[in-house]
Structure 1
Amino acid sequence: MDTLKIATFNINGIRSRLPLLLTWLGRERPDVVCLQELKAPDAAFPITEIAQAGYGALWHGQSSWNGVAILARDMEPLEIRRGLPGDPGDKQSRYLEAAVHGVIVASLYLPNGNPQPGPKFDYKLAWFERFIAHAQALWRSGHPVVLAGDYNVVPTDADIYSTRSWQKDALLQPESRACFKRLLAQGWTDALRAHFGNERIYTFWDYFRQHWQRDAGLRIDHLLLSQAVAGELVDAGVDRWVRGEEKASDHAPAWVSIRRPTQ
């Protein structure tokens, strides 16, 4: 079966974690990679090393924080959109969209929103509204689309080890969850949840209170599939081993495997 493996990975600083990224690419060989939180300006993106690993790339960087990229094995992704539409004054690098291997792929880094309430949470919700509107247009296009990234939303209590110490966090607020639910209501398939059913699966373990060692995780990295892709889903997973490596990101790569679209 000819399949396409599409992954999302919040790298949490691409320069400091480049060795780990290259190790993961070499071991897992995803066909498409959506990266978030590059924390580097465009000029500092390590395109030479990534090209030597066999990947073409697009990136939308920003100094010190944010930043997204799309990597494609053995090809150059074709840029469609750089930045989320709806607010010309928004200068944060959080959205990149490209055509890769016959699929429209978006790499997104939704605002964290903490502390809440406050302007950061207001920005999160405003960004989410713009994203919902754009996602609706992508859905209506009928094209095969994968919306992959760090959504900074824990969809339900089944997606977190415990809500006790997170009640005030923006990731769990009713407004955040309501936005994610409205997004799914357009028709998108939450690939990890569809594949794993009621099984608890996490993509993020923060650096505090031995959360990784205790498997006290959250699921905030999501891959949403359009109708044209959802029916082709073969497999999905989280490369947990990456989180256990030295100097790891607090996220692990999540991925889907789909039957490759006919060109």
Structure 2
Amino acid sequence: MRIVTWNVNSLPSRMPRMRVWLQVMKPDVLCLQETKIADEQFPYEDLRELGYEAVHRGDGRWNGVAILSRVGIDEVVTDLPDVCGFPNDDDPPEPRFLSAVCGGVQVVCVYVPNGRTLENPHYLYKLRWLSALHRFAAQPAAGPRPFAILGDFNVAPHDEDVWNIADFEGSTHVSEPERVAIRELVELGLEDLPPTISKGNPFTFWDYRGGNFHKGLGMRIDLILANPSFAAAVSETFIDREARKTGTKGTPPPSDHAPLIVDVDL
């Protein structure tokens, strides 16, 4: 089974590229983040023609997550339990979370809040959101069914997961509380699956500005955290850097994230 996570940074902008990519890479399950599309505008029929069922959670402005599957979608959960809204706690939950069972595997797709700056209320919201994810994950992480959380965590777990840690001093994505939140997820029994096949660095995100992709100035913020039943079945994990490259003139531009792919013998 091939399972993928990909922050597409606007599905309407990326759909032409993604349609071709699906036909070439043939994932069984694809977790998407930052779809930036409303549920009623989501291309369910286009994806059905490509052989994929889909569940989507989006409001059409920002955020948005989806799970695509050609091995079934069951036991869908569309909101992270016990999570606050933003900017007010009692605001509706943002579309950042989906959970489903696909082909016997529980797959959780997440788009963790960015945090913006260490002084911004969004940073505290990010930490509270990660705490809610920890509470949700505790039971399935310890269970016998294969389970994985995939997505854009907006956290680089280690110094080597950014191009130069000195450039990130005083910034989000590398602060100790954020990294502690990731470690606490791992301590539930989850394994952070690094690429087993890597061409150079392990990065999954490169800012559009300044030609960062070609300079190698990236970050590893897209992660797969898997329980033992899932991790034991992994054959390889890799980053599809080709999907991040700019195509020929006239082709749609890429996302600023590359797909992170895991092949499992399940």
Q: TM-score range by the shorter chain?
A: over 0.9
Q: Paired residue for 2:250? A: none
The Cα offsets for residues 193-227 of structure 1, whole Å up to 9 and x where unpaired, read as: 5x369x73110001112101111111000111111
- 1:231 is displaced (CA, Å) by 0.8
Is the deviation greater in 234-243 or in 244-253?
244-253
Displacement over 6 Å in runs of 4+: none
* Counterpart among 250, 260, 264 of residue 258 in structure 1: 264
Q: Are the aligned partners of 1:114 and 1:120 in contact in 2 as well (CA < 8 Å)?
A: yes
Q: Paired residue for 1:7? A: 4
Distance across 2 between alignment mates of 1:33 and 1:258: 14
Distance across 2 between alignment mates of 1:8 and 1:151: 11
Distance across 1 between alignment mates of 2:35 and 2:177: 27
The Cα offsets for residues 116-168 of structure 1, whole Å up to 9 and x where unpaired, read as: 22210010000011111111122133321011100000001111111233223
Distance across 2 between alignment mates of 1:200 and 1:206: 15
Q: Paired residue for 1:64? A: 61
Distance across 1 between alignment mates of 2:25 and 2:117: 36
Q: Are the aligned partners of 1:58 and 1:79 in contact in 2 as well (CA < 8 Å)?
A: no
Q: Paired residue for 1:32? A: 29
Q: Paired residue for 2:80? A: 84
Distance across 1 between alignment mates of 2:182 and 2:47: 32
- 1:115 is displaced (CA, Å) by 2.2
Report whether the alignment pairs 1:226 with 2:227.
yes
Identity, % of aligned pairs?
33
Kindly tell me the number of residue pairs found equivalent between the two proteins: 254
Q: Are the aligned partners of 2:8 and 2:14 in contact in 1 as well (CA < 8 Å)?
A: yes
Q: TM-score, normalised by structure 2?
A: 0.91
Structure 1 gaps of 5+ residues are none
Is the deviation greater in 251-260 or in 132-141?
132-141
Report whether the alignment pairs 1:111 with 2:104.
no
Amino acid aligned to 1:224: L
Q: Paired residue for 1:132? A: 134
Q: Secondary structure at 2:219's aligned position in 1?
A: coil
Q: Are the aligned partners of 1:57 and 1:76 in contact in 2 as well (CA < 8 Å)?
A: no
The Cα offsets for residues 27-65 of structure 1, whole Å up to 9 and x where unpaired, read as: 111110000011111011111211111111111112210
Q: TM-score, normalised by structure 1?
A: 0.92
Distance across 2 between alignment mates of 1:212 and 1:200: 11
Q: Paired residue for 1:206? A: 207
Distance across 1 between alignment mates of 2:171 and 2:256: 17
Q: Secondary structure at 1:224's aligned position in 2?
A: strand
Aligned-pair Cα RMSD in Å? 1.6
Q: Secondary structure at 2:194's aligned position in 1?
A: helix
Q: Paired residue for 2:218? A: 217
Amino acid aligned to 1:81: V
Distance across 2 between alignment mates of 1:257 and 1:206: 27
Structure 2 gaps of 5+ residues are 85-89, 248-252
1:143-162 mapped onto 2 (5 Å cutoff)? 143-162=145-164
